[in-house]
Chains A and B, each alone.
Chain A
Amino acid sequence: NAGVMQNPRHLVRRRGQEARLRCSPMKGHSHVYWYRQLPEEGLKFMVYLQKENIIDESGMPKERFSAEFPKEGPSILRIQQVVRGDSAAYFCASSRNSLYSNQPQHFGDGTRLSIL
């Protein structure tokens, strides 16, 4: 019973490059969440997606960041023209049915992004 799978586990990019982070939700889960944890800081919600729809992107930076969850395949968090401040751990979570607030979220082990 595979959990939430994130890849890569570690990603190194130079300033100005693009970073693509992937997340495969648990089987049977159609709702995906992305969070960011900056060094020595807490987890911050970024975006909530359902298949082919962005439901809430209130936590996403206005520029350079985008997310998608296509009908087929994993969810992708894309960061264009990365800067040193983007260095962080990015976590993905999924849930079975997110219409109700009593559904737990299941997290992956994250992607550690380092910007040189």
Chain B
Amino acid sequence: DAKTTQPNSMESNEEEPVHLPCNHSTISGTDYIHWYRQLPSQGPEYVIHGLTSNVNNRMASLAIAEDRKSSTLILHRATLRDAAVYYCILRGGGADGLTFGKGTHLIIQP
């Protein structure tokens, strides 16, 4: 899987939007962009994924740059329960296991 780059940590205030960036300059044409998060003492949780177009679901939105070399996960209104490590992962060419990087540790201040 191609490599992704994320900030080590970000901090935001409760009830404000959060934009989590991810760079993936070596993405190939068939790579999907997936986001997972891991809350403390829990297993990872699927958040959202996309290929080229922006995507929305009940948890978040995913904005994908036109050249696909970067993407942004958007939490529209952060709550304390959104404090977690967020992982941006590229998946291409099949059904192999996920390659987790270090992710972004999101801290939410009340």
Q: Is A1 an interface residue (CB 8 A)?
A: no
Q: Is B44 an interface residue (CB 8 A)?
A: yes
- Determine whether the beta carbon of A105 is less than 8 Å from that of B101: no
Q: Are A102 and B46 also in contact (CB < 8 A) when A42-B103, A44-B100, A45-B99 are?
A: no
| Residues in chain B within 8 A of chain A (CB atoms) | 30-32, 34, 38, 42-46, 49, 51, 91-103
* CA gap between A31 and B92 in the complex, in Å: 17
Q: What would 26 A/B residue contacts be, using CB atoms closer than 8 Å?
A: A33-B98, A42-B102, A42-B103, A43-B44, A43-B100, A45-B96, A45-B97, A45-B99, A47-B97, A91-B44, A93-B98, A98-B95, A99-B95, A100-B94, A101-B91, A101-B92, A101-B95, A102-B51, A103-B95, A104-B34, A104-B49, A105-B46, A107-B46, A108-B43, A109-B42, A110-B42
| Residues in chain A within 8 A of chain B (CB atoms) | 4, 31, 33, 35, 42-48, 55-56, 59, 91, 93, 95, 98-110
Chain A residues within 8 Å of B100, by CB: 35, 42-45
Q: Are A91 and B43 also in contact (CB < 8 A) when A42-B101, A104-B34 are?
A: yes
- Determine whether the beta carbon of A45 is less than 8 Å from that of B98: yes
Q: Are A101 and B32 also in contact (CB < 8 A) when A48-B95, A107-B45 are?
A: yes
